[in-house]
Chain A
């Protein structure tokens, strides 16, 4: 008996009882549907998150200095730094192979009081913060853009101010016309000392806060004055450095190297690895729900096959009498069971795909309404999931068919022929 004959015979036997066959494979459909929906959600969400992280740039490494151990006697003193991101270090990193860029970042603390002032107009004064500009965007917010000029100052003495702060200062003219405007930052210590710093406006940003952006050197100058430490940069260095590596591998190597040098290093990859571990667990849990449904489906197929064998006992006897071998009979019934599973798998896959597409639309509409700048398919069916769904359906059918098929193959032809 050729495989084509087996398939054709199995098919005609299955279509003989269409309703029963469909109902039996419905069990598999439910199981595969659940697995496909769950896994495609798991995979999809993970992919969307991965894409967001990719947008941030996995090749970015954020380096921070490490504070020395504090001892009880120096509790109220600013902590010493064990390792310092000095301008020399920055230069050294810039010299390294496969490094795209190194950006020093200075964090001008919120508690340092500073006011933005228009020269010659004492009334136009607001309190502002200094945007450190980490250079990594929050994936859940729309990244700021330059409404005029540039987003970040490139030379010392330059400043970028948010549009909102400018409005508050009374500068309501067309933003492009404000470029080149002189502004001052006035710093005041609680002791009453004050100092003003002069800047030229080179850009207006869309940030929704009263923020200004300065060069690292200018930021350091503010802090040096505030703490009364003229050589602050030499002693404490920068607060962060953002190192952009050529690729993920370089970033990984760099991370290990810098950690060995006692720097604190954060790379997005670490976060992502944790995330994928969590997703693995979630996927397994969700998949198990479908697995349970498949287990029930297996029993259903087994039941149907045993019933079919009972009904077709005479037929089996006839086939054996005219020369069918045990393996012919076994293969035939395994094929029938396998086909039931296969159909269930295909229908479940198509159903899961369809439902996923609908839910994608719904999710996208929701995100658009909420103005979250995340796009992508939350239900995503990778090629391996197609294979898994169909293969699983087939395997469930075959496994369910094992016992009934063996029973059919074992039937004594004489008894089978006498069966009513």
Chain B
């Protein structure tokens, strides 16, 4: 399993929640394959299971049944320790509300995954400055989150998601808290990163305009995949 070019492969993936007597099927058998180096948008109505799928693929949540492979690791059966190191070394998370640590400077926030991995402070600083440069915040390394705008904070968070050189970036409504202009900047940045760094990006959104920046759009409804749409992009549409 898991050979070929696909990075993510889920089969008959289910996730159920027990709410008293009721069973909520957040994921009702998801079969999905995502190739390395693609930008995938996950869209669907509220409650359709987008976040749940993202969390399972990111090793934050475990499926009730079915398999979820990321590269050569099956996350459903992997021990807790494996999931921790998977998240730390191979995945980058981007959240709707940025979730930067308020006491840390921008560069320290970016370097958090490296700190958890036990890298030296000087190495961390160097890499963080490099990444901040890439997201256009080279001059804000020593600022605290409170001193940055929402768009800038999300760019710091993107730099943080890149810090461990991940194969996979998972973003849950990264533009949800941003105005449309800043949202556009962030989406363009994400698009550029996928292209330049050959990283795979899975982004949850309910904004079709945001989804249009992706290479593929996965439509979800009631815990199932309804439709997968591939965007044919001409050269001028990128710019």
Size class of the B contact interface (CB-based, 8 Å): 20 to 34
Question: B88 to chain A: which residues have CB within 8 Å?
Answer: 322-324
Tell me the complex Cα distance, A4–B120, Å. 10
Q: Does A248 sit within 8 A of B, measured CB to CB?
A: no
* Chain B residues proximal to chain A, CB less than 8 Å: 55, 58, 60-61, 80-81, 84-85, 87-89, 92-93, 95, 99, 101-104, 112-113, 115-118, 121, 160, 164
What would 5 more interface pairs be, CB under 8 Å, given A320-B60, A323-B88? A12-B104, A314-B99, A322-B113, A323-B164, A417-B95
Residue pairs across A and B with Cβ atoms less than 8 A apart, 26 shown, are: A1-B115, A1-B116, A1-B118, A4-B121, A5-B115, A12-B103, A13-B103, A314-B99, A320-B87, A321-B60, A321-B95, A322-B87, A322-B112, A322-B116, A322-B160, A323-B84, A323-B113, A323-B116, A323-B117, A323-B164, A324-B116, A325-B116, A326-B84, A328-B116, A413-B60, A417-B95
Question: A317 to chain B: which residues have CB within 8 Å?
Answer: 99
Question: A12 to chain B: which residues have CB within 8 Å?
Answer: 103-104
Q: Does A315 sit within 8 A of B, measured CB to CB?
A: yes
* Chain A residues proximal to chain B, CB less than 8 Å: 1-2, 4-5, 12-13, 16, 314-315, 317-326, 328, 413-414, 417
Question: A4 to chain B: which residues have CB within 8 Å?
Answer: 121
Given known A12-B104, A323-B85, contact A318–B116 (CB-CB < 8 A): no
A414 to B113, Cβ gap below 8 A? Answer: no
Question: B60 to chain A: which residues have CB within 8 Å?
Answer: 320-321, 413-414
Closest CB-CB distance, B78 to chain A, in whole Å?
14
Closest CB-CB distance, B199 to chain A, in whole Å?
16
Given known A321-B87, A325-B84, contact A16–B118 (CB-CB < 8 A): no
Question: Considering only CB atoms, which chain B residue lies closest to A413 in the complex?
Answer: B60
Q: Which of A4, A5, A321 counts the most chain B CB atoms within 10 A?
A: A321
Which 8 A-B pairs rank lowest in CB-CB distance, beginning with the nearest?
A: A323-B88, A318-B99, A12-B103, A323-B87, A325-B84, A323-B116, A321-B93, A322-B113
Question: B101 to chain A: which residues have CB within 8 Å?
Answer: 315, 318
Question: A326 to chain B: which residues have CB within 8 Å?
Answer: 80, 84
Question: Considering only CB atoms, which chain A residue lies closest to B161 in the complex?
Answer: A322
Question: Considering only CB atoms, which chain B residue lies closest to A321 in the complex?
Answer: B93
Question: A324 to chain B: which residues have CB within 8 Å?
Answer: 84, 88, 116
Question: A325 to chain B: which residues have CB within 8 Å?
Answer: 81, 84, 116
A319 to B118, Cβ gap below 8 A? Answer: no
Question: A320 to chain B: which residues have CB within 8 Å?
Answer: 60, 87
Closest CB-CB distance, B195 to chain A, in whole Å?
24
Tell me the complex Cα distance, A242–B55, Å. 89
Given known A5-B115, A321-B60, contact A417–B99 (CB-CB < 8 A): yes
Question: Considering only CB atoms, which chain B residue lies closest to A324 in the complex?
Answer: B116
Closest CB-CB distance, B70 to chain A, in whole Å?
14
Question: B89 to chain A: which residues have CB within 8 Å?
Answer: 323
Tell me the complex Cα distance, A2–B160, Å. 19
Question: B118 to chain A: which residues have CB within 8 Å?
Answer: 1-2
Closest CB-CB distance, B103 to chain A, in whole Å?
4
Question: Considering only CB atoms, which chain A residue lies closest to B170 in the complex?
Answer: A321
Q: Which of B61, B80, B112, B117 counts the most chain A CB atoms within 10 A?
A: B112
Tell me the complex Cα distance, A414–B102, Å. 20
